[in-house]
Structure 1
Amino acid sequence: MTPPATGRSLRPLAGVLAAMAMSLTGTRVSAIALPWFVLVTTGSAAMTGLVAFCEMAPYVLVKLLAGPLVDHLGPRRVSWVADVVSAAGAGAVALLHALDLLAFPALLGLVALIGAARGPGDLAKEIMVPEAAERGRIPLERAAALSGVTERLAATLGPAMGGALVALAGPLVGLALSGACFALGSVVIVWALPRTQARYAGAPIPAPVLEAGGYWRRFAEGVAFLRAEPMLLALTLMVAVTNLLDAAFAQVLVPVWARESGHGPAVIGLNSAAMGLAAVGGSLVAAAVAHRMRRRAVFFVAFLVAGPPRFLVLAMDAPVWVMLVVFAVSGLGCGLINPILGAILFERVPRRLLGRVNALGDSLAWAGIPLGGLMAGAAVAAAGLSPVLVACGAAYFLTIGLTGLRREWRQMDQPRGVGSPSAPASAESIGTESSRSP
């Protein structure tokens, strides 16, 4: 780790984290407002799942292809443009509906635009973190944990604000707030990372390097790196399954449960806020003691606590206070997951490949998310809510337990190096692990 030094600048990392907070808060508000808007206007769980699919499929596809372009253009520029487009899309949904001009196909098109912009925007902010941390002489584990704290704060404030606004003022106000958050995020990036200072926050690859190979050559380089890492690939595939189940939970199962139980969107926001607040605590713990953690044990216990209990407590139709406790404990587990994954990613991947490898890993991990809402909507229509909740909780448990038996996971507690611009792009020479979770 790079030791603390005088003359360091905390502005780049603070700015990246602030922009990340704005963007993620907008996403979380939209995650409550948009499904509720579709559900109350159409009454169809299947159509709610279709809207979620139309947002997340472009997200995953564009993010998959965006890695080489982010490495080339620079994450600052990509982040700014993506936030502006996301803000315009969210604002257009609210405006067109207010004018009674929002047909369902137009809604699908706008949410697809938002998803397509969010993919490279989220990627750009993620890969700015290690460079901004190095500029401020901040250890990578701590930077990853602070990024996790930021994500969890957004997961706390976003649903709380979204649930309250939707309950009090309707989903359109929530969508308008979502657009405002994206717009503010773009302003923060411009303020914190002026163009003349963007070099250390993820600069474009120098022209001589780019001329050595075109877009597909650089894309293939990222694929080759990921394929050479069995543990990293197994981790990504496991997260892909759990992300599918989490998407089913958030996009369809929770809104349907809120409507059928009579609790409404306010309790959705309350549960999410309890989970997010506890996750902030978990991330702060990780920030303080991440370098002392036995990653493998903490990772799997945290995942088991974070996942299955949420499905089962809704299936039981437990009292609200019991749900709050379960969601809070799940949040504590969630708070420990992403700091571990973020530190693994920053250790493993050399800087010049960070955009494309992170894009590939994230896209694989998120590949099931577009299907989560569709599958959940169809399953609820066919079998009812409670059986689907129980089945998803069981699938979550089996996915984590069976994957944890693989030999590759022993490498998780064996960090050996840190990715750097000068590090070679072979699996054997880099160090240990990588990837990200929901």
Structure 2
Amino acid sequence: MRVTNWKQGTLSILASGEYRRLLAGTVIWWNCFFMEQVVLGWLVFDLSNSARTVALVSFCRTLPLLLVSLFSGPIIDHVGRRRALIAAQSANLLAYLALAALLWSGRAAPWNIAIAAFWLGTAWAIDWPTRRSLVPDLIGKERMIDGLLLESYLTGVGRIIAPALAGALIARAGALGCYLGMAILSGCALSILVPLLRDPGPREAKPFTLAVLPVVAQGMRYVRSNQTILAVMLITLVMNVWIFPYISLLPAFARDVLGTGPVELGLLSTASGIGSFLGLVALQVARRRLGAGVLFILGTGWMCAALLAFALSQVYAFSWAMLVCAGMGMACFGTLQSSIVLLATSDEMRSRVMGILVLAIGGDPLGQLLIGTLAERFGVQMTLAGQAGAAALALALIVLRLPAVLRPEAQGEGSQ
């Protein structure tokens, strides 16, 4: 089902009932993810008292992005985007229930939490590219940026509320109460999304066989031949190796650097959510004057600079403010990353290219190991400051080498 040019304005895309279901389910899914980032780090740090152990569990959470991502596109094409979405959402629900059961029985330990984190990461490697690829199916490619912007607005609100809620639940009911709340939310999302199966949509049969490697190779060649997509992939890799793993260090920053507890940790995560919402407002205004590519680069660089300042701070209020600034940059990165790739990719190659984008995001497990090891040796502040500076330098070099990212061009149906 497609709805195009019903009325001018971002909200006109809500005329599509199927998109409304996808949007609602996705917003809840992101809220669970933001809560998970808080409770997972706090729980493992509480059990192990080791920033490196937290990083190792986070590594298990993101390792499937490396193992599954190359095959996620062919898997999604074979199963169908809607069926893949329901399967991944069901896997999330099962994982939250399993973690709640472990905590209730008193058997939770870093090793079994790591197994559950790996399961959740495997689901995410299928889930995220499926949700992104479905947006053009439901509202048309010409309204895609509006759809992703609206999702980002609502997700930005969740980025503010969900971490604070997770911190409050941990303080009042422990990690068990937090995971039970996440299971309830995940079940609600599943019930909203299941009706999408009534109309599976047009889909050519694409059998999944062991000969999938040539398909993967075709996708890699496609990415390499498109300077815009290649630049976004490289920037995504840099950010996931050197920047985004900072989240696993937040419990150590909160307790050891800033001298605070779980509530203040939740508020630190909320800060990036507030910044994300402000960044989306700025993005909506600025995209009328600046192109998506320019805003993508500016937002990414801004996030690197803000995290460098956060790393050097020992004052809670200033640290919180710098995470607000980092969230503003994250809004530009997160929204425009997918938008630019989907815009520059032909419809036929969409699932495969999004799978390769997940591979670039899969640099995160390597980043988790790197940041955890360096933090044990040099401390969390020096480690994050060094990585933020390195990321900013790499961003500048990529833009100099692949300047087409500043001016992305749309690809029509069937373009190769």
Q: Which residue of 1 aligns with 2:346?
A: 350
Indicate whether 1:108 and 2:104 are aligned.
Answer: no
Q: Which residue of 1 aligns with 2:99?
A: 93
Offset, 1:36: 0.7
- CA shift digits 1:113-153 (9 cap, x unpaired): 1211121012211111111122xx97222123223324423
Instruction: Give the distance between the partners of 1:223 and 1:390, measured in 2 at CA.
Output: 33
TM-score (ref. length: structure 1): 0.85
Aligned length: 409
Instruction: Give the distance between the partners of 1:274 and 1:102, measured in 2 at CA.
Output: 29
Q: 2:299 aligns with which of 302, 309, 315?
A: 302
Q: Which residue of 1 aligns with 2:181?
A: 177
- When structure 1 is superposed on structure 2, of 346-355 and 97-106 the one drifting more is 97-106
CA contact (8 A) 1:67 1:356 kept: yes
- What code does the residue aligned with 1:4 have? N
Offset, 1:314: 3.7
CA contact (8 A) 1:22 1:181 kept: yes
Instruction: Give the distance between the partners of 2:183 and 2:126, measured in 1 at CA.
Output: 17
For residues 20-419 of structure 1, what are the structure 2 equivalents within 5 Å? 20-134=26-140, 139-191=143-195, 193=196, 195-199=197-201, 203-204=202-203, 206-207=204-205, 215-251=212-248, 253-260=249-256, 261-287=258-284, 290=287, 292-318=289-315, 320-364=316-360, 366-406=361-401, 408-415=402-409, 417-419=410-412
- CA shift digits 1:160-185 (9 cap, x unpaired): 21222223322222222223332222
Quote the sequence identity (%). Answer: 21
- What code does the residue aligned with 2:278 have? G
CA contact (8 A) 1:33 1:172 kept: no
- CA shift digits 1:327-349 (9 cap, x unpaired): 22222222223332233222211
Instruction: Give the distance between the partners of 1:337 and 1:92, measured in 2 at CA.
Output: 33
Instruction: Give the distance between the partners of 1:298 and 1:58, measured in 2 at CA.
Output: 30
Q: Is the alpha carbon distance of 1:97 and 1:322 closer, same or farther for their aligned partners in structure 2, counting shifts above 3 Å?
A: same
Offset, 1:39: 0.6
- What code does the residue aligned with 2:186 have? F
- What code does the residue aligned with 1:424 have? S
Instruction: Give the distance between the partners of 1:171 and 1:184, measured in 2 at CA.
Output: 20
Instruction: Give the distance between the partners of 1:213 and 1:86, measured in 2 at CA.
Output: 27
Instruction: Give the distance between the partners of 1:401 and 1:349, measured in 2 at CA.
Output: 24
Offset, 1:214: 5.2
RMSD, aligned CA: 2.6
- What code does the residue aligned with 2:384 have? L
Instruction: Give the distance between the partners of 1:151 and 1:25, measured in 2 at CA.
Output: 7
Q: Is the alpha carbon distance of 1:414 and 1:218 closer, same or farther for their aligned partners in structure 2, counting shifts above 3 Å?
A: closer
Q: Is the alpha carbon distance of 1:349 and 1:121 closer, same or farther for their aligned partners in structure 2, counting shifts above 3 Å?
A: same
Q: Is the alpha carbon distance of 1:164 and 1:411 closer, same or farther for their aligned partners in structure 2, counting shifts above 3 Å?
A: same
Instruction: Give the distance between the partners of 1:174 and 1:60, measured in 2 at CA.
Output: 28
Q: Is the alpha carbon distance of 1:418 and 1:40 closer, same or farther for their aligned partners in structure 2, counting shifts above 3 Å?
A: same
- When structure 1 is superposed on structure 2, of 1-10 and 338-347 the one drifting more is 1-10
> What is the DSSP-based 3-state SS (H/G/I as helix, E as strand, rest coil) of the residue aligned with 1:424?
coil
Q: Is the alpha carbon distance of 1:266 and 1:294 closer, same or farther for their aligned partners in structure 2, counting shifts above 3 Å?
A: same
CA contact (8 A) 1:66 1:356 kept: yes
- CA shift digits 1:409-432 (9 cap, x unpaired): 2353252x3443xx232xxxxxxx
- CA shift digits 1:10-48 (9 cap, x unpaired): 212221111111111111111110111011111122211
CA contact (8 A) 2:167 2:263 kept: yes
> What is the DSSP-based 3-state SS (H/G/I as helix, E as strand, rest coil) of the residue aligned with 1:126?
helix
Offset, 1:77: 0.8
Instruction: Give the distance between the partners of 2:74 and 2:208, measured in 1 at CA.
Output: 13
Instruction: Give the distance between the partners of 1:154 and 1:74, measured in 2 at CA.
Output: 28
Q: Which runs of 5+ in 1 are unaligned?
A: 426-438
CA contact (8 A) 1:146 1:284 kept: no
- What code does the residue aligned with 2:40 have? L
Offset, 1:54: 1.1
TM-score (ref. length: structure 2): 0.90
CA contact (8 A) 1:87 1:179 kept: yes
CA contact (8 A) 2:219 2:352 kept: yes
Indicate whether 1:4 and 2:10 are aligned.
Answer: no
Q: Is the alpha carbon distance of 1:279 and 1:105 closer, same or farther for their aligned partners in structure 2, counting shifts above 3 Å?
A: closer
Offset, 1:358: 0.4
Q: Which runs of 5+ in 2 are unaligned?
A: none
CA contact (8 A) 2:229 2:405 kept: no
- What code does the residue aligned with 2:251 have? P
Q: Which residue of 2 aligns with 1:436?
A: none
- When structure 1 is superposed on structure 2, of 304-313 and 374-383 the one drifting more is 304-313
- CA shift digits 1:311-332 (9 cap, x unpaired): 42242212x3322322222222
Instruction: Give the distance between the partners of 2:151 and 2:78, measured in 1 at CA.
Output: 24
Q: Is the alpha carbon distance of 1:351 and 1:154 closer, same or farther for their aligned partners in structure 2, counting shifts above 3 Å?
A: farther
Q: Which residue of 2 aligns with 1:431?
A: none
Offset, 1:285: 4.1
